[in-house]
């Protein structure tokens, strides 16, 4: 797994609209990249909803929120539409991105629920792992980003 202080591995993946997403295109901004195991499940739904609820606060800080799973584009599209997610959901159907970040569960071919906070220079500043869906780790990610950008609001 990548660790705090590493440069976040760049990657390309299709978002839930079928458009190509490239992490390096977000250089100059903070990025919250969160991996989730499976769209439409209760834990991943709660997690996505909470990120969506906090999205305006992230945006005010100049932060891009991006979710990623091994689900195909059409499943992520339905997931995003059903819950009106206003951020990108990436499809890593081959598990390449999850594997590079060290979060692919080979036995189930799903991503381990893990969040990476990446700074504007592309360096990983925090990793939230061993997350339970009931825990509002979106709130924790927001708290960490606020500390990193020097805001206490």
Provide the annotated active-site residues: 44
Cα 18 from Cα 13, distance rounded (Å): 9
Determine the distance from the C-alpha atom of residue 7 to the mean position of all C-alpha atoms in its chain, rounded to a whole number.
Answer: 16
**Cα–Cα distance for residue pair 141/13, rounded to 1 Å:** 23
Q: What's the CA gap between 143 and 42, in Å, rounded?
A: 24
């Amino acid at each position: 797994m990548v660790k705090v202080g590493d440069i976040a591995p760049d990657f390309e993946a299709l978002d839930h609209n079928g458009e190509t997403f490239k992490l390096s295109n977000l250089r100059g901004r903070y990025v919250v990249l969160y991996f989730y195991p499976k769209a439409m499940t209760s834990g991943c739904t709660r997690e996505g909803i909470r990120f969506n609820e906090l999205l305006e606060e992230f945006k005010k800080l100049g932060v891009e929120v991006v979710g990623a799973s091994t689900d195909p584009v059409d499943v992520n599209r339905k997931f995003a539409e059903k819950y009106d997610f206003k951020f990108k959901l990436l499809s890593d159907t081959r598990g390449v991105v999850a594997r590079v970040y060290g979060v692919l569960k080979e036995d189930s071919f799903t991503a381990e629920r893990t969040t990476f906070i990446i700074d504007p220079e592309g360096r990983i500043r925090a990793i939230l792992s061993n997350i339970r869906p009931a825990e509002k780790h979106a709130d924790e990610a927001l708290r960490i980003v606020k500390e990193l950008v020097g805001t206490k609001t």
